[in-house]
Amino acid sequence: MSTDIWILGINMTKFGKHTDRDVVDLAAEAVMAALADGGVTMADMGVLAAGNLMGSGGIGQQIQKQVGQTGIPVFNVSNACATGATALRTAIMAIKAGECDMGLAVGVEKLAGAGLLGGGGRAKQDAHEWEPQGRFGAVATTDGRIGTDTMPGVFAQVGMEYGHRYGGADFELFARISEKNHAHSTLNPLAAYSKRFTLEEIMGDMMIAYPNTRPMCSANCDGAAAAVVVSGERLRTLSLEQQRRAVKVSASVLTSDPYQEACQVLPDVNTLTRNAATTAYEQAGVGPEDLDLVELHDCFATAELVHYDNLGLCDEGGAVDFFESGAPWRDGSTPVNVSGGLQSKGHPISATGIANIWEVCHHLRGEAGDRQIEGAKVGLAHVIGLGSACGVHILEKSAA
């Protein structure tokens, strides 16, 4: 018999610039708040999974020293932008394996001011002598000469490819997706940026990689998110209030990218997302039409479009029509990224895959305040990290 899993407590810090606090401070804040939210302590935790990409390593043990060292197993996980979802999945797997009945997952990143990611961090300079190096025997820098390594450019090509295949996706359409997310962010007090932009402002802003202008790119920022997960059996021994606020994890799926012809030259973010979504819907016994809200990985406006399709929110090839129908706006039929998404809420990489679960839980618990999606019962959270890794979680409101 498979174990049912629940989110007992969850928290995200304010996303933004935290100049006076380090990754351990931010993670500890999220952990302490998630424990308090669940009405439990470190003594109840049987496992800790922690993610942080840009730090020095061993973040889980560093966090324990701030919040409680109990000797439990720690898994320090790293899975690109899916790191937070991977930490959560790790804690869930430990419970499903019967090793413990309660666990903690946390993701944290300090990324404010990090600038361009993916080949963009260091100045490029050729050597004084052309000497073949690396697995391509390259004698010179290839970034900028044989395509681009930068994230805005890679994901621009992902969106443009979809437009080439199905039509209807132009610069303005992508900018309008960004307009939606920035509009949504004005209701989220924890977002790094909560300013509404006009379409003209978005299209007229600094071009990073056509068609992605600056506000169409995810915002580098600092932040942490943490979640306490519990088995159904243990949950039923807790208070009625804890049971009422607990959110059911109906599906928890992690995939990597299967071989596709073009994946060696442009990362394929589609197939592994489609696979994860299909498996998640099967596990949860729900379909895309049952979703009251979706938090998907809009690392760039061009990425959001393809994931409407990959997550089955529309018919194959129908992402442009889906957007044009108004469906993904917060008053539409399938609200997408009511948090403001990565473009305005921000993208502290390892925190993202738990922060999007927090957003969904907030609505399912009816605690989302001004941005509450009324009557929300089922939600989906999706992240993808290049390389690639995809996490999809489907969450359901407690019946208690």
- Residues marked as catalytic: 81, 347
| CA-closest candidate to residue 359, choices 375, 345, 344 | 345
Question: Is residue 56 at the binding interface for another protein, with CB under 8 A as the rule?
Answer: no
Residue 285 neighbours by CB distance under 10 Å: 11
Sheet containing 389-397: give its strands across.
74-77, 48-51, 102-109, 223-231, 5-12, 247-256, 389-397, 378-385, 293-295
Residue 135 interacting with another protein (CB under 8 A) = yes
Nearer to another protein, 140 or 327 (CB): 140
CA atoms of 73 and 353, how far apart (whole Å): 21
Q: Does 125 bind another protein (CB under 8 A)?
A: yes
Residue 30 beta carbon to another protein: minimum distance, rounded to whole angstroms: 32
Within residues 166-195, the interface with another protein by CB under 8 A covers: 171
What's the Cα-to-Cα distance from 199 to each of 52, 170, 278, rounded to whole Å?
35, 13, 34
| 83 is a site residue for another protein (CB under 8 A) | no
Rank residues 86 and 150 by Cβ distance to another protein and give the closer one: 150
**Which 235-264 positions form the footprint of another protein (CB under 8 A)?**
259, 261-262, 264
Q: Which stretch binds another protein (CB under 8 A): 54-62, 158-166, 173-181, 229-237?
A: 158-166
User: In DSSP terms, which residues pair with 11 in a beta bridge?
Assistant: 226
164 CB neighbour count, 10 Å cutoff = 10
User: What is the Cα–Cα distance from 336 to 328, expressed in whole angstroms?
Assistant: 5
The span of 32-40, 63-71, 156-164, 373-381 binding another protein (CB under 8 A) equals 156-164
Q: Of 32, 93, 140, 386, which lies in the binding site for another protein, with binding defined by CB under 8 A?
A: 140
The minimum distance between CB 125 and another protein, in angstroms, equals 5
Contact between 389 and another protein by CB under 8 A: the answer reads no
The answer to whether residue 303 forms part of the interface with another protein (CB under 8 A) is: no
- CA distances from residue 161 to 153, 167, 321 in whole angstroms, order as listed: 12, 9, 17
Report if residue 210 touches another protein, rule: CB under 8 A. Answer: yes
Number of residues that bind another protein (CB under 8 A): 52
Amino acid identity for residue 69 in this structure: Q
The sign of the dihedral angle between the CA atoms of 55, 61, 67, 73 is: positive
Residue 130, classified by CB atoms within 10 Å of its CB into exposed (0-12), middle (13-18) or buried (19+), is exposed
Give 210 or 367: the residue with its C-beta nearer to another protein. 210
Q: Which is nearer to another protein, 200 or 241 (CB)?
A: 200
Q: Which of 62, 83, 86, 150 binds another protein (CB under 8 A)?
A: 150
Interface residues with another protein (CB under 8 A) are 116, 119-130, 132, 135-148, 150, 152-153, 156-158, 160-161, 163-164, 171, 206-212, 259, 261-262, 264-266
